[in-house]
Amino acid sequence: MKKVIIFVLLLLIVMAQPAFSGEAMDKLLLSRGLKDIKLPAPVKSGGMPLMEAFNLRSSAREFSSKDLPEQVLSDLLWAACGINRPESGKKTAPTARNWQDTDIFVFLGSGIYLYEAGEHKLKFIRSGNHIKATGRQDFVEKAALSLIFVSDFSKMDKKAVREDKMMYAGIHAGCITQNVYLYCASAGLNTVTRRMMDFEALASLMKLSADQTIVLAQSIGYRP
């Protein structure tokens, strides 16, 4: 409701200024984190040789405040869990029976977004800088962004017991987090995967349903 009121107010402000172009309105909404973000197409070539990336893969907890350029964010999310076979819709990370149960929520300075691999865009969820809320360690808020990997149990076999679903969710998020680690090693970014967080508070902030379980977080940013 609050989101709708803010949106209507912004719209009224914009409409009161005839000189306001569509592009300017896009910028205004984006700056307030009130808009989906269409990512540039991922660059699927280049990068560091794979064996060198393995050699550099590590967790690091120091970050500069510099934002990631949109192209880097695009490439990072595609590497994490983007579609690499459009004909089948399959992804860069495997899932049991191709359930594709893991959603990636992206916490940026402007707001919280859901990565939609099909359209390769960030769907707006809520505005504001909530990066700090994704962890309990001091370094978390210093990173340019946090990813939260959420498993949607409704996408798994209905007959699977909860214990199995938890196991699959962990394995699936584990595959994604390693993709992110390798991309970061190649792109000169620092990253660390994390489970130390307030799961309940975060789920409520992210407006998750009862079927959605937070599995892992990952901080990403440039080296200081």
Ligand X SMILES: Cc1cc2nc3c(=O)[nH]c(=O)nc-3n(C[C@H](O)[C@H](O)[C@H](O)COP(=O)(O)O)c2cc1C
| Site for ligand X, rule CB under 6 A | 58-59, 61, 137, 192-196
Q: Select 51 or 196, whichever has its Cβ closest to ligand X.
A: 196
Q: Select 125 or 184, whichever has its Cβ closest to ligand X.
A: 184
Q: Select 92 or 193, whichever has its Cβ closest to ligand X.
A: 193
User: Nearest distance from residue 223's CB to ligand X, in Å?
Assistant: 14
By three-state DSSP, how is residue 190 classified? strand
Sign of the Cα pseudo-torsion (55, 57, 63, 66, in order): positive
User: Nearest distance from residue 195's CB to ligand X, in Å?
Assistant: 4
User: Nearest distance from residue 102's CB to ligand X, in Å?
Assistant: 14
Q: What's the number of CA atoms in the CB half-sphere (13 Å) around residue 98?
A: 6
Question: In angstroms, rounded to a whole number, what is the distance separating the alpha carbons of residues 14 and 114?
Answer: 26
Which amino acid belongs to residue 90? Answer: K
Q: Select 29 or 184, whichever has its Cβ closest to ligand X.
A: 184
Exposure string (b/e) for 20-32, b if CB count within 10 Å is 16 or more? eeeeebeeebeee
Q: What stretch of H or E contains 27?
A: helix 22-31
Which amino acid belongs to residue 67? Answer: D
Tokens of 131: 């990066």
User: Nearest distance from residue 117's CB to ligand X, in Å?
Assistant: 23
Q: Select 37 or 147, whichever has its Cβ closest to ligand X.
A: 147
User: Measured at CB, which residue is nearest to ligand X?
Assistant: 196
Q: What's the number of CA atoms in the CB half-sphere (13 Å) around residue 212?
A: 17
User: Nearest distance from residue 163's CB to ligand X, in Å?
Assistant: 17
User: Nearest distance from residue 115's CB to ligand X, in Å?
Assistant: 20
Sign of the Cα pseudo-torsion (166, 172, 176, 178, in order): positive
Q: Select 37 or 144, whichever has its Cβ closest to ligand X.
A: 144
